[in-house]
Amino acid sequence: MFEFVVGSPLNIVLILGAVLVAAALLIWVERRVLGFLNERLGPNRVGPWGIAQSLADVGKLITKEDWVPPFADKLPFIVAPIIVPVVMLLSFAVIPIAPGVGIMDLNIGLLWVLAMAGLGSYSAMLGGLASNNKFSLLGGLRAAGQMISYEVFMGISILGIVILSDSFNLREIVEAQHKHGWFVFPQFIGFIVFVIAGLAETKRWPFDLAEGESEIISGFNTEYSGMKFGLFFVGEYIGMLLLSALIPVLFFGGWYAPFGLELPNAIISGIFWMCAKTGCWIFFFILVRAALVRPRYDQLMNYGWLVMLPLSLLNLLVTGAVVLAQGN
């Protein structure tokens, strides 16, 4: 008999399968929503409401010739696109979905997510360097500076949550919010910094400067085609899905329902509310893409070091001082 137990084969298959299907479906969702927001048609030809367009794109990418430029460094060129989807899926291993639903519970789960995010930055860097193309090199350097910088602010912004919950375990952080309330209220500054840093970390619009089509063709993935390009593409959407799931876990009570609107079955209720909160944030990130313009690269870096860093440090100092005062 199948049971929902953290780490069970059922959990592993269902969660990773759902993530991969959702990442592919997000491509269609984003196109449809952007079409609606821009007052134009999205995909509407292949399948009902164009839903099979993503499947057609996958088929196209798989059947394209696996071409490696003769001037590229072959091994890192091939390895680079594999890194980002793998590390994003590994990050999902510590995300708690509902009571008993999850792949593993680590007492350093939050550090695991940050470590995987750091490894993900190697994908764009290696892709840019191995392509042996000037535009790819510029994109790789942009990606390296952007992702390494914003990882600092993202890490500092969630230290306040670690102080309040007294744990790096994501499931314990959710349980702490169930007892003491959502962390978005006492950690509002940290929440704002985390969302912005997460956008920059996943290279989502308006922080997709590593790909700047109007300036450097397509940045670090200029020389990529076929399924290698598809891996970069899917990795970006898995990253957006991960960020959209991580925000409710850290700031909005995870799988627990707001205002006590729990469903009778705890597992079904947890999955429903976790998916609902994640879906809201996915829609928010799509809305950001439709509404905001891309800044210059120097503005992005100045904004990070001159605004985000002081704010995250201020949030950490105030949180530590308040907790210390309450303890005394």
pLDDT tens digits, 148-162: 888 888 889 999 999
- Per-residue pLDDT, averaged over 82-89, amounts to 88
Q: Which two tokens stand for residue 302?
A: 């100045």
Cα separations in angstroms, 199 against 13, 174, 281, 282, 285: 28, 22, 12, 11, 8
Percent with pLDDT over 70 in the chain: 98
Q: 98 — alpha (psi -120 to 50), left (phi > 0) or beta? A: beta
CA distances to 56, 192, 224, 318 from 164, rounded to whole Å, are 47, 17, 44, 12
Mean pLDDT of 196-221: 79
For residue 206, whether the previous peptide bond is cis, meaning omega lies within 30 degrees of 0, is yes
pLDDT at residue number 3: 60
Domain ranges for the chain: 9-327
Amino acid code (one letter) for 231? L
In whole angstroms, what is the distance from residue 204 CA to residue 217 CA?
A: 17
pLDDT at 185 over 70: yes
* DSSP-H helix ranges across the chain: 9-37, 53-63, 74-92, 109-130, 134-157, 159-165, 170-180, 188-201, 213-216, 226-251, 266-291, 297-303, 309-327
SS3 at position 284:
helix
The interaxial angle of helices 9-37 and 53-63, nearest 10 deg, is 110
Percent of the chain surpassing pLDDT 90? 19
Please state, in angstroms and as integers, the Cα–Cα distance from residue 54 to each residue in 32, 162, 250, 265, following that order: 12, 39, 31, 34
CA dist 136 → 15, 132, 173, 297 (Å) = 34, 7, 40, 16
Which one of 7-21, 186-200, 212-226 scores highest in mean pLDDT? 186-200
CA 298/CA 76 separation, integer angstroms: 28
Is the CB of residue 263 less than 8 Å from the CB of residue 269? yes
Average pLDDT over residues 251-276: 86
To the question of pTM greater than 0.85 for the whole model, the response is: yes
Mean pLDDT across 39-56: 81
Does residue 219 have a pLDDT over 80?
A: no
